[in-house]
Each structure stands twice: as structure tokens, then as C-alpha cells.
């Protein structure tokens, strides 16, 4: 999936009007590759989302909150 996104983004500039990466719905393409996770969780594509929300912890360990 990530390789396909990179391939699609590498079209020559004169072809980008037709093959515009920003017009893609990445969720639909992820589904066509039979992926269960949304695109933001795959291959660092959503890395910027994690950097914007540093207050949310990725790990929720219930045992660490017990005394």
C-alpha cells in the first residue's frame, strides 16, 4: 500500500492534473488492498497526526493505574 502511494505520487508534473494525489480517498485504496487498519496507522503516513496530539498516550496499561 505504501509503495503504491509513493508510486502514485511520483508521476511527472505534467500528469499531476490527472493523477492528483490530494484527490484520492486513501481509505478506499486501503480497502482495495484488503487492509484492516485505516491509512493513518500504516507506514508512518499518519505520523504528523501523532505529533500534533502528544497528550494522547499510545499505550493504555490498566495495570499501571492500579495501586
Q: Residue 63: inside a domain, yes or no?
A: no
For cell 500500500, what's the residue? 1
Range of the domain at 40: 2-53
22's grid cell: 490530494
Q: Which residues in the chain come in under a pLDDT of 70? A: 41-67
**Would you say the C-alpha torsion 4, 46, 12, 16 has a positive or negative sign?**
positive
Residue 23 lies in a domain: yes
Number of structural domains found in the chain: 1
Polymer length of the chain = 67
Is 67 within a domain?
A: no
pTM over 0.75: no
- How far apart (Å, rounded) are the C-alpha atoms in residues 18 and 57? 40
CA distance 26 to 41: 12
In a domain, 61, yes or no: no
Residue 49's pLDDT is what?
46
Amino acid at each position: 500500500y505504501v509503495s503504491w502511494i509513493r508510486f502514485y505520487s511520483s508521476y511527472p508534473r505534467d500528469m499531476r492534473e490527472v493523477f492528483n494525489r490530494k484527490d484520492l480517498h486513501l481509505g478506499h485504496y486501503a480497502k482495495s488492498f484488503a487492509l484492516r487498519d485505516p491509512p493513518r496507522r500504516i507506514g508512518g503516513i499518519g505520523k504528523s497526526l501523532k505529533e500534533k496530539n502528544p497528550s494522547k498516550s499510545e499505550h493504555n496499561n490498566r495495570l499501571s493505574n492500579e495501586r
